[in-house]
């Protein structure tokens, strides 16, 4: 059962890895909102 996900993204390698996580969640049917940090 896909749901809604808020994906918080910080700087550095986390931002790089977040794209892969976002893709997987989207393909699973989740409604994903990305929230970047100020850094």
pLDDT digits (tens, 9 = 90+) for 1-39: 689 999 999 888 888 899 999 999 999 999 999 999 886
Q: Which residues of 20-33 are buried (b: 16+ CB within 10 A; e: fewer)?
A: eebeebeeeebebe
What is the rounded CA–CA span in Å between residue 23 and residue 38? 23
- Give pLDDT, residue 13: 87
Paired tokens of 12:
């550095």
Count of the separate structural domains present in the chain: 1
**Contact assessment for residue 27 and residue 1, using Cβ atoms and an 8 Å cutoff:** no
What is the model's pTM?
Answer: 0.77
What is the rounded CA–CA span in Å between residue 24 and residue 28? 6
- Which residues constitute the domain of residue 8? 4-36
């Amino acid at each position: 059962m896909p749901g809604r996900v808020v994906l918080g993204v910080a700087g550095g390698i986390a931002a790089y890895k977040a794209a892969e996580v976002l893709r997987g969640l989207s393909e699973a049917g989740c409604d994903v909102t990305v929230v970047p940090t100020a850094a």
